[in-house]
A and B are shown apart, each in its own frame.
Chain A
Amino acid sequence: MEFRLEAHRIVSISLGKIYSARGQRGGLKLHKNLLVSLVLRSARRVYLGEPGGECGLPPRPRDPPPPDCERLRRGGYRPLGSEAAARGRVECPAESPRKRSAVERGQAAGSPGKKPRREAEPSPPQEDMETGNVASLISIFGSSFSGLLGKERGAAEASEPGQVCCEQPVLRSLNPWSTAIVAF
């Protein structure tokens, strides 16, 4: 279950980064926020146990990192590389050619930035609306973010796999918002 704890931790870190990006000098950094949203999406998939989500794991077999690497980490989560490897590699036939297929689609469409939409979430494609989107997004995240934190503390104290499941409804409700994140 540790990989789900790791995924959950990555989700909270990612949300924190998006939240704090609002106050950054120089305005929103599109590149960084896009990368954070991609990590958030992968971690969310793993956490919710969606099919293909296990591919977000780092399955590379490695020796457990030495304990003094804890200095680099906040919080007490143990590095998970070895545990996930011990669980065995997960084949991800859908994921590994993901890049290729996106590329092929991109080539066909003639533009690398597009991809077929999975969730319908209309939003006005105006550049000057982006800060407006961010403000509304942040206000929404404000409530669900603190809600997530509250539940996270509860999960950490309980430290039982069963407790983690109660957060799933909160994370499932993030589903529409993860695409909105990309709307930066």
Chain B
Amino acid sequence: MGGRAGSVGLAGLFGAEPDRVWALAGQYGARLGPALRSLASVGGGAGAGLGVRSAPWGLSWGCPRRSPSPRSVSAGVAGGGGGGGSNDFQWCFSQVKGAIDEDVAEADIISTVEFNYSGDLLATGDKGGRVVIFQREQENKSRPHSRGEYNVYSTFQSHEPEFDYLKSLEIEEKINKIRWLPQQNAAHFLLSTNDKTIKLWKISERDKRAEGYNLKDEDGRLRDPFRITSLRVPILKPMDLMVEASPRRIFANAHTYHINSISVNSDHETYLSADDLRINLWHLEITDRSFNIVDIKPANMEELTEVITAAEFHPHHCNVFVYSSSKGTIRLCDMRSSALCDRHSKFFEEPEDPSSRSFFSEIISSISDVKFSHSGRYMMTRDYLSVKVWDLNMENRPVETYQVHEYLRSKLCSLYENDCIFDKFECCWNGSDSAIMTGSYNNFFRMFDRNTRRDITLEASRESSKPRAILKPRKVCTGGKRKKDEISVDSLDFNKKILHTAWHPTENIIAVAATNNLYIFQDKIN
């Protein structure tokens, strides 16, 4: 195992900043986190899995897994109740991670959420450049209510702020995207990226330790060779589980503009990274060069009219990828046709509705996320007000359009003023492609069932975080008399935005990032 190990102690991460240490401890359920003592509904296990047995200031982390989480809350509700949900079941609160302080440190704001291929691991990245990985507990017959809870598995600092001296620019450490690699052995691998650099991280477990070295004492001191009178064979002894993260590859210096997407190819050997104007193709083993496959930079930058906003590989065809633009268009490219995929194979665009033109039409048509369905037959795009499902065989319009928060259309000028109109919402499919989910403001998130055409608005809030609570559907009052339990558009909190959501690949478990908190919801247990 080469490379610098990421499993440094907190002192190494944060220097002499005890307040920051407490913040990290408090975030993820360490027993000594002061913010969590009185909070019954925060799970997170007893350890943060940093891979060290003790940290300065007397904190002890304990085992990252297999220890009971006394503060975890499980879902598990019988009985009915109203509310239409997607797929005719109901969503229940399961867990929430993160501090409850009103005062949110910017570094704690979650910037990406991603399940791995099996759904056993859930990774989050934040603005402070940290990655936290949660692992699902094995089902335990003795604790039936703890049905697959997610507890902290590993935490590491993925990216640090950097300074580009040539341009006098600071490079943010914010994690823009995390993408898991399919698991091939006992270790787990993921790619994480900030604006400029992509890193491949290996997360591995260690539960054995060799004891009985000949040349070293147990505490690591070298033994005097003359004192050694006999040889012994070191034996492996079990130890408390330690999860280590180490950077295996660093893919740097390939992007002039800010990286907005990474996508692992179905060949499991290559991946793409996209910035505003270019898309590069990498091989996971090779860090010193990449292939540029899309370049939309005009010769004269003043002619620039659109930028790339997201890109993704097709889930099955390793030669196909799509990228979306700020003009609301999607291009599908086939890498077999030419080395530089400036000419698209398919071009998806919906004609603009001239009756809804405004100063801000261009901004709200900019696509913030594009995701292939698991089947590979459809793709979904998110623009500011809607989610659209496209059939890859039909380029001239989407097959389905879902309005996320159409009531904001009359508020676009104010949203432009307070910068909310630039928020980049993501979207996701469920495992069977029958439902889609995306976020909104006021900590609301929306789910659409493609078969029944029903939709539901739910809220990620501490108030509805009671143990085993069914989430109540929310409704925004768009005009006229406000009914009870409805919320009016002007009461919406635009600082509480849900930009990142993720759906378990096979089960009905969703992870919703609300600023610095991560909510996990499950369908009700029978």
A43-102 with Cβ < 8 A to chain B = 43, 46, 55-60, 62-63, 65-66, 68-69, 71-74, 79, 81, 89, 92, 95-96, 99-100, 102
Q: Mark B322-343, 1 if CB is under 8 A from A, else 0.
A: 0001111101000000000011
Q: Which residue from A10, A55, A102, A121 sits with its C-beta under 8 Å from B416? A: A10
Task: Determine whether A103 belongs to the interface, using a CB cutoff of 8 Å to chain B.
Answer: yes
Known: A10-B416, A25-B172, A35-B363. A114 touches B357 (CB 8 A): no
Cβ of B183 < 8 Å from any Cβ of A? no
B298 near A113: Cβ-Cβ < 8 Å: yes
Known: A29-B258, A112-B329, A113-B296. A39 touches B362 (CB 8 A): yes
Flag the segment in A122-130, A145-153, A167-175 that touches B. Answer: A122-130
**Is residue A182 contacting chain B, with contact meaning CB distance below 8 A?**
yes
- Inside 8 A of A42's CB, which chain B residues have their CB? 359, 362
- Interchain CB contact under 8 A, B357 and A56: yes
The A-B contact count (CB < 8 A) is 179
- Residues A30 and B410 in contact, CB atoms below 8 Å apart: no
Pick from B169, B260, B343, B355: contact of A60, CB under 8 Å:
B355
Q: Which residues of A contact B413 (CB under 8 A)?
A: 6, 10, 73, 79
Q: Tell me whether A100 and B351 are in contact (CB under 8 A).
A: yes
Cα A26 to Cα B159 with chains together (Å): 13
B166 at the interface (CB under 8 A from A): yes
Name the contact of A121 in the complex, choosing from B297, B299, B302, B412 (C-beta under 8 A). Answer: B302
Task: Please tell me which one of the listed residues A17, A58, A79, A107 contacts residue B357 in the complex, with CB atoms under 8 A apart.
Answer: A58
Contact between B277 and A30 (Cβ–Cβ < 8 Å)? yes
Q: Is A163 engaged at the interface, CB distance under 8 Å to the other chain?
A: no
Interface locus among B28-36, B58-66, B132-140, B305-313: B305-313
B516 part of interface (Cβ distance < 8 Å): no
| Given A30-B307, A107-B347, A111-B298, A92 contacting B410 (CB threshold 8 A) | no
Decide yes or no: A27 and B167 within 8 Å by CB, A39-B416, A56-B358 being known contacts: yes
B411 within 8 A of A: yes
CA–CA, A74 and B329, complex, Å = 33
Mark contacts of A118-159 with chain B using CB atoms, 8 A cut-off: 1 yes-contact digit, 0 otherwise: 000111010110110000000000000000000000000000
Pair B170/A131 contact, Cβ less than 8 Å: no
From A25, A55, A102, give the contact of B305 (CB < 8 A).
A102
Residue contact A27 to B171, C-beta cutoff 8 Å: yes
Report if A26-B303 is in contact (Cβ < 8 Å); known contacts: A57-B358, A111-B296. Answer: no
What CA separation (Å) do A60 and B479 show in the bound complex? 16
Interface residues on A, range: 35 or more
**A35-B366, A73-B417 known; A10+B357 contact, CB < 8 A:** no
Question: Given contacts A31-B309, A39-B363, is CB(A99)–CB(B349) below 8 Å?
Answer: yes
Q: Is the CB of B357 within 8 A of A95?
A: yes
With contacts A27-B171, A69-B490, A113-B298 known, is A58 near B358, CB below 8 A?
A: yes
CB distance from B478 to the nearest CB of A (A): 10
B366 x A30 contact (CB < 8 A): no
Residues B368-427 near A (CB distance < 8 A): 409-414, 416-419, 422
- Whether B306 lies near A112 (C-beta < 8 A) is yes
Q: By CB atoms of chain B within 10 A, which of A29, A58, A92, A131 has the most?
A: A58
Residues of B within 8 A of A99 (CB): 327-328, 349, 351-352
B291 beta carbon closer than 8 Å to chain A? no
Residues of A within 8 A of B284 (CB): none
Check if B352 sits within 8 Å of A96, measured CB to CB: yes
CB of B14 within 8 A of chain A? no
B239 within 8 A of A: no
Does the CB pair B305–A113 fall under 8 Å? yes
Interface pair A73/B414, CB less than 8 Å apart: yes
CB neighbours (8 Å) of A13 from chain B are 416-417
Contact of A69 among B164, B169, B302, B489 (CB under 8 A): B489
Q: Is the CB of B326 within 8 A of A115?
A: no
B169 lies within 8 A of A123 (CB):
no
CA of A92 to CA of B416, assembled, Å: 24
Asked if B256 and A92 make an inter-chain contact with CB atoms under 8 angstroms apart, the answer reads: no
A164 interface residue, CB < 8 Å from B? no
B158 to chain A, nearest CB (A): 16
* Given A35-B362, A123-B300: A131 and B490 interface contact (C-beta under 8 Å): no
Q: CA of A162 to CA of B452 in the docked complex: distance in angstroms?
A: 56
Complex formed: what's the CA distance from A74 to B414 in Å? 8
Complex Cα spacing A60 to B358, Å: 9
**A113-B277 in contact given A30-B258, A79-B413 (Cβ < 8 Å):** yes
* CB of A15 closer than 8 Å to a CB of B: no
User: Quick check: A112 and B331 within 8 Å, CB to CB?
Assistant: yes
A33–B490 CA distance with the chains assembled, in angstroms = 27
Distance of A77 Cα from B303 Cα, bound (Å): 34
Residues of A within 8 A of B326 (CB): 31, 34-35
Q: Which residues of chain A are near B490, meaning CB under 8 Å? A: 66, 68-69, 71-72
* Chain A residue nearest in CB terms to B354: A96
Q: Chain A residues near B328 (CB, 8 Å)?
A: 99
Whether B355 and A183, one on each chain, are in contact in the complex, defined by CB atoms closer than 8 angstroms, is no
B228 within 8 A of A: no
Chain A residues engaging chain B, CB cutoff 8 angstroms: 6-7, 10, 13, 17, 25-27, 29-32, 34-35, 38-39, 42-43, 46, 55-60, 62-63, 65-66, 68-69, 71-74, 79, 81, 89, 92, 95-96, 99-100, 102-103, 107, 110-115, 117, 121-123, 125, 127-128, 130-131, 179-180, 182-184
15 A-B residue pairs with Cβ-Cβ distance under 8 Å, sorted by A, are A31-B276, A31-B326, A46-B359, A56-B358, A59-B355, A60-B355, A60-B356, A72-B414, A72-B418, A92-B357, A95-B354, A103-B347, A103-B349, A113-B277, A128-B167
Q: Which 8 A-B pairs have the closest CB atoms?
A: A58-B358, A26-B172, A113-B296, A96-B354, A72-B414, A27-B169, A30-B276, A183-B302
Please give 19 more A-B residue pairs, beta carbons under 8 A apart, in addition to A74-B417, A113-B305, A115-B305: A13-B416, A13-B417, A27-B167, A27-B169, A30-B258, A30-B277, A31-B258, A34-B306, A42-B362, A57-B359, A65-B411, A71-B490, A73-B417, A96-B354, A99-B349, A100-B351, A111-B342, A112-B331, A113-B297
Interface set of B (CB-CB < 8 Å, partner A): 164, 166-172, 174, 195, 256-258, 260, 276-277, 296-307, 309, 325-329, 331, 342-343, 347, 349, 351-352, 354-360, 362-363, 366, 409-414, 416-419, 422, 479, 488-490
